């Protein structure tokens, strides 16, 4: 049986946390937004993102034919993404890498779920040029949709994401990292808890069952960690 990508449990908890925090003191209503990045919310289908709803919703821009996904780009070209040939051989399941279109960021990006045997990732693909950015988890947009945050998990040391948390800016032509934390250690998980406006972010990290809550605020010197105030 194929193991789910490393970010899935973390992201399901993120969805649950977002629901629980909607009335949390200190988090205004602007802190919980519908990011509308996945065609089906993660809390549906047990946290597994689905492709079929996206193929229906974006049928003018995408096509699926067997193992091949074709994305129609704004520059008139197409970007073709194919599952690896090992996916056709059950004996090589641990070498299979499949892809599924599961969401989008407005008119700017497709979201493609890259599904290897373990330690999956998310491809943010420019809908105009086809250029792609590899993310360690699902992006959660800020209220003005000019930034997004990604959190990751080490999953008992089996995976090695490049960061525990990263904040990206969407102001330029390509996503740009504004701030990132170090790569998570063994048995360490990072979670998104909510935006409060576009320059104030609530996070939390867990290690061996113990939680630490963190606030990040954008200042003149950049993103700065400040004491958590419930």
Question: What are the pLDDT digits (tens) for 165-213?
Answer: 899 999 888 899 999 987 666 666 788 889 999 999 998 888 777 888 8
Whether the per-residue pLDDT at 48 is higher than 90: the answer is no
- What's the pLDDT at 26? 29
Instruction: Please write the tens of the pLDDT for every residue from 22-44.
Output: 333 222 233 333 455 888 876 65
- What's the pLDDT at 100? 95
Query: Residue 81 pairs with which residues in a beta bridge?
Result: 69
Q: Are 5 and 115 in contact (CB under 8 A)?
A: yes
- What's the pLDDT at 28? 29
**Pairing, β 210-219 against β 200-207:** antiparallel
Helix (H, G, I), strand (E, B) or coil at 10: helix
- What's the pLDDT at 148? 94
pLDDT tier, 20 (very low <50, low <70, confident <90, very high otherwise) = very low
Q: Are 228 and 216 in contact (CB under 8 A)?
A: no
- What's the pLDDT at 44? 57
How far is residue 110's CA from residue 38's CA, in Å, rounded to a whole number? 10
Percent of the chain with pLDDT over 70: 75
């Amino acid at each position: 049986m194929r193991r789910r990508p490393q970010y899935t449990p973390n992201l399901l908890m993120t969805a649950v946390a977002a629901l629980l925090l909607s009335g949390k003191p200190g988090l205004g209503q602007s802190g919980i937004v519908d990011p509308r990045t996945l065609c089906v919310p993660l809390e549906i289908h047990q946290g597994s993102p689905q492709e079929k709803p996206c193929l229906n919703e974006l049928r003018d821009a995408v096509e699926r034919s067997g193992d091949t996904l074709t994305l129609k780009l704004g520059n008139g070209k197409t970007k073709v993404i194919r599952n690896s040939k090992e996916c056709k051989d059950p004996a090589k399941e641990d070498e299979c890498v499949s892809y599924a279109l599961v969401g989008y960021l407005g008119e700017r990006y497709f979201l493609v779920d890259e599904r290897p045997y373990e330690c999956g990732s998310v491809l943010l693909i420019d809908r105009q040029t086809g250029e792609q950015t590899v993310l360690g988890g699902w992006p959660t947009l800020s209220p003005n949709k000019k930034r997004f945050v990604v959190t990751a998990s080490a999953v008992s040391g089996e995976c090695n994401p490049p960061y525990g948390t990263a904040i990206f800016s969407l102001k330029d032509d390509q996503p740009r990292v504004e701030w990132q934390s170090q790569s998570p250690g063994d048995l360490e998980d990072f979670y998104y808890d909510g935006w409060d406006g576009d320059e104030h972010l609530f996070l939390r990290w867990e290690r061996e069952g113990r939680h630490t809550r963190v606030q990040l605020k954008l200042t003149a010197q950049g993103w700065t960690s400040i004491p958590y105030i419930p």
